[in-house]
Amino acid sequence: MTIALVGNPNSGKTTLFNALTGANQHVGNWPGVTVEKKEGRLKENKEVTVTDLPGIYSLSPYTLEEVVSRNYLIDESPNVILNIIDGTNLERNLFLTTQLLEIGIPIVVAINMSDELEKKGDKIDLSQLEKELKCRVVAISALKGTGINEAAEVAIESAALGKTLPVCVFSGSVEHTLAHIEEAVLHHLPLGEQRFFAIKLFERDRKISDKLNITAEQLAHIEEDIKRSEEAFDDDSEGIITSERYTYIETVIGKCVRFKDRGERTISDKIDGIITNRILALPIFAVIMFIVYFVSVTTVGEITTEWMEDVVFGEGGELFGVHIYGIPMAVGNMLEALSVAEWLQSLIVNGAIAGVGAVLAFVPQLFILFMFLAFLESCGYMARIAFILDRIFRKFGLSGKSFIPILIGTGCGVPGIMASRTIESDKDRKITIMTTTFIPCSAKLPIIALISGALFGGVWWVAPSAYFLGIGAIIVSGIILKKTRLFSGDVAPFIMELPPYRLPTIGNILRSMWERGWSFIKKAGTIILLAVTCVWLLSNFGWYAGNFGMVAPEYSLLAEFGRSVAWIFIPLGWGDWQSAVSTITGLIAKENLVGTFGILFGFAEVAEDGMEIWANLAAHFTILSAYSFLVFNLLCAPCFAAIGAIRREMANFKWLLFAVAYQCGFAYIIALCVYQFGRLAQGQDFGFGSTVAILAAIALVYLLVRKEKHSFA
């Protein structure tokens, strides 16, 4: 027994899914969150499977979400559809309902957001609506949990009652054509399913005619009928169906809904007047993101990171008057007492604990960042950003839809890259896949925090600049790539409805923080632990005077390997082996970069005074080389997991290579310019590096401003 949750984006499907199944799927106050279907078991009745489908406005074949949902409904025919409707937006939501009623699967309509309806004062006559739609209708609030178990029960009952009837009857001549199509090519199908397919064929839906193996001859035959209707209505066939559906919906709403008078603009409208204002929108966005990064990375960092490093991973501290050792010392003393071999002690304390500890030291900052992001997402602000950026992107032939993957990418690049699937245009999708990981993900936060804190002493602009660097890199790359022959083409229309502002629930915010924070901690305990252990081994063993064994770090295998690649980074200002090695381990997972620093710069002192990465690191970099290091590592190829995601989404090895090469090349050029121009600004002498940087900058500007030669698709 399967219940499929179907409805418009942002109607509350996932909230209901979580409430019914006890699952923890991500809920966001913006469309496009659920791209794949999710399954779960009903809490109250484990025999019943609930499927959460991507949100759709219609059953047409234009977007991936629509195709995924539609194929699921047609091919796997769930026992019953629970159609979730945003009660505050009946007209648009019922458009999908009229179509769902045609596919011959029992359906129950759940009017969601009934709490908001009540606040607004609108009344929906449920029993009248049941009569109109010829199916059961229930009112629920997925958020508050009211009526949801009843909705599931009604759905289970309705599944047993059999099929639902189509209720939307079109004008005589359209019905005539539909009957003709059914007779000509669909008569072998069960009666209940014929109407849906007939309408789709009338709309010239080629995905459906291919699916039904309709021959070219048959198509030509029904084409005559369709043309005749189009002439009669002076509209294309899809337009005819759409406007007839809306006419029908209007009469239904007229009979079933009593709106409370509302002359004024709603609060949401007023807020939007400011936030999406043409002039103010971007400065407001910049200020908000600045505050988010400044507070979570810089302010919180000053308090917590030192505490983590000095107390938890350092000397320890007083608790109720008792001195508690920090983890490295406590573990060190314990290993000493157990008389564990010295090299193993060092591996555990100076390798695993120093490396993983350096990463975990940033957990408090991450949680605060996630809290901010979850708040901005669920209150509805992030959806506005996509809308605002769309206005800008559009000028350069890009769509604001690309912003949704980027938004998801602030948590982790992998789901961000996957979310690019919803972009219809293949070229725009590829651009988005290539640029999504420019935005700092949670794994890059420790790098930002370390450099901002340790090397810049917590200057106000460093942490927020990382975010704006990411956004800037995306816009610049988008423009450059779009102007090349590979990606040129028209802008796909991007229609995004702005969800109302909502005060997020604490539960949703905590869930979102925990979901992202926990995966960070889990990663530190597994892949990072493994990687830093390898780093410790490689940095402690090597050849010295012809013998292989434990050596000083300078002679280790790691140092030798680092030196063999470090020259590449000399023009960027950080050609030492430690930085090169850290950058490379960062490709496995970005946190590794900090973990590796923890081992290479922290270990000598760990056992005595706590981790001294900060001071040691500061001695190792200049302000310029540190920023260039940050820039390169934020923009270069992402971690293995994200590279894997790029490969899956591109489904092509050459494209993967192109994407990674582009990211690394772009990162290199920007870091080079930062370092070399910085040097010149400091009055240092002009060298070969400066010449290359100037040439690279000129090339970049040329690619940005040149006329588009291939403006046709």
The residue ranges that bind Mg ion (CB under 5 A) are 14, 33-34
Does 40 bind ligand GDP (CB under 6 A)? Our answer is no
Q: How far is the CB of 422 from Mg ion (least distance, A)?
A: 12
Q: Are 137 and 111 in contact (CB under 8 A)?
A: yes
Our CB check for Mg ion shows the closer of 14 and 437 to be 14
d(CA 440, CA 577): 25
Q: Which does 412 bind (CB under 5 to 8 A by kind): ligand GDP, Mg ion, none?
A: none
d(CA 329, CA 339): 15
Our CB check for ligand GDP shows the closer of 139 and 353 to be 139
Give the single-character DSSP code of 361. Answer: T
d(CA 461, CA 454): 14
Total interface residues for ligand GDP by CB under 6 A: 24
Q: How far is the CB of 34 from ligand GDP (least distance, A)?
A: 5
Our CB check for ligand GDP shows the closer of 118 and 224 to be 118
Our CB check for ligand GDP shows the closer of 239 and 507 to be 507
Angle value at C-alpha 643, between 640 and 646, nearest 5 degrees: 155
Our CB check for ligand GDP shows the closer of 11 and 596 to be 11
3-state class of 425 per DSSP?
coil
Number of alpha carbons in the 13 Å side-chain half-sphere of residue 620: 21
Does 12 bind ligand GDP (CB under 6 A)? Our answer is yes
Does 9 bind ligand GDP (CB under 6 A)? Our answer is yes
Binds ligand GDP by CB under 6 A, chosen from 58, 83, 98, 112 = 112
Does 97 bind ligand GDP (CB under 6 A)? Our answer is no
Binds ligand GDP by CB under 6 A, chosen from 3, 20, 34, 308 = 34
Q: Are 480 and 670 in contact (CB under 8 A)?
A: no
Q: How far is the CB of 518 from Mg ion (least distance, A)?
A: 21
Task: Give the x/- contact pattern for ligand GDP in 247-266, rule: CB under 6 A.
Answer: --------------------
Q: Are 199 and 177 in contact (CB under 8 A)?
A: no
Six-digit token string for 296: 């979570």
- For residue 490, how many other CB atoms are within 10 A of its CB? 12
Q: Which does 477 bind (CB under 5 to 8 A by kind): ligand GDP, Mg ion, none?
A: none
Binding segment for ligand GDP among 11-19, 202-210, 514-522, 576-584 (CB under 6 A)? 11-19
Q: Which does 471 bind (CB under 5 to 8 A by kind): ligand GDP, Mg ion, none?
A: none
Number of alpha carbons in the 13 Å side-chain half-sphere of residue 119: 9
Report CA-CA distances (Å) from 662 to 127, 148, 397, 421. Answer: 59, 49, 20, 21
Nearest to 104 by CA among 200, 188, 2, 193: 193
Task: Give the x/- contact pattern for ligand GDP in 470-509, rule: CB under 6 A.
Answer: --------------------------------x-----x-
Q: Which does 5 bind (CB under 5 to 8 A by kind): ligand GDP, Mg ion, none?
A: none
3-state class of 177 per DSSP?
helix
Q: Which does 73 bind (CB under 5 to 8 A by kind): Mg ion, ligand GDP, none?
A: none
Our CB check for ligand GDP shows the closer of 112 and 305 to be 112
Q: Which does 142 bind (CB under 5 to 8 A by kind): ligand GDP, Mg ion, none?
A: ligand GDP
Q: Strands 49-52 and 38-41: what pairing? A: antiparallel
Task: Give the x/- contact pattern for ligand GDP in 113-152, rule: CB under 6 A.
Answer: x-xx------------------------xxx---------
Q: How far is the CB of 55 from ligand GDP (least distance, A)?
A: 5
d(CA 625, CA 28): 39
Does 103 bind ligand GDP (CB under 6 A)? Our answer is no
Six-digit token string for 476: 């610049």
Does 424 bind ligand GDP (CB under 6 A)? Our answer is no
Give the single-character DSSP code of 146. Answer: B
Quick one: how far is CA 569 from the chain centroid? 31
Does 630 bind ligand GDP (CB under 6 A)? Our answer is no
Q: Are 201 and 222 in contact (CB under 8 A)?
A: yes
Q: How far is the CB of 33 from ligand GDP (least distance, A)?
A: 6
Q: Are 443 and 590 in contact (CB under 8 A)?
A: yes
DSSP-assigned letters across all residues of 219-271: HHHHHHHHHHHHHHHTS-HHHHHHHHHHHHHHHHHHHHEEPPP--SPPHHHHH
Quick one: how far is CA 319 from the chain centroid? 41
Binding segment for ligand GDP among 29-37, 207-215, 286-294, 644-652 (CB under 6 A)? 29-37
Per-residue burial over 247-278, b if 16 or more Cβ lie within 10 Å, else e, is ebbeebbeebbeeeeeeeeeeeeeebeebbee
Q: How far is the CB of 132 from ligand GDP (least distance, A)?
A: 23
Q: How far is the CB of 498 from ligand GDP (least distance, A)?
A: 12
Binding segment for ligand GDP among 4-12, 234-242, 481-489, 583-591 (CB under 6 A)? 4-12
Q: What are phi and psi of 640, to 5 degrees?
A: -55, -45
Our CB check for ligand GDP shows the closer of 10 and 596 to be 10
Which residue type occupies 575?
G
Does 99 bind ligand GDP (CB under 6 A)? Our answer is no
Strand partners, 283: none
Q: How far is the CB of 288 from ligand GDP (least distance, A)?
A: 18
Beta carbons within 8 Å of 389's beta carbon, 6+ residues apart: 400, 403
Does 376 bind ligand GDP (CB under 6 A)? Our answer is no
Binding stretches for ligand GDP (CB under 6 A): 7, 9-15, 27-29, 33-34, 55, 112-113, 115-116, 141-143, 378, 502, 508
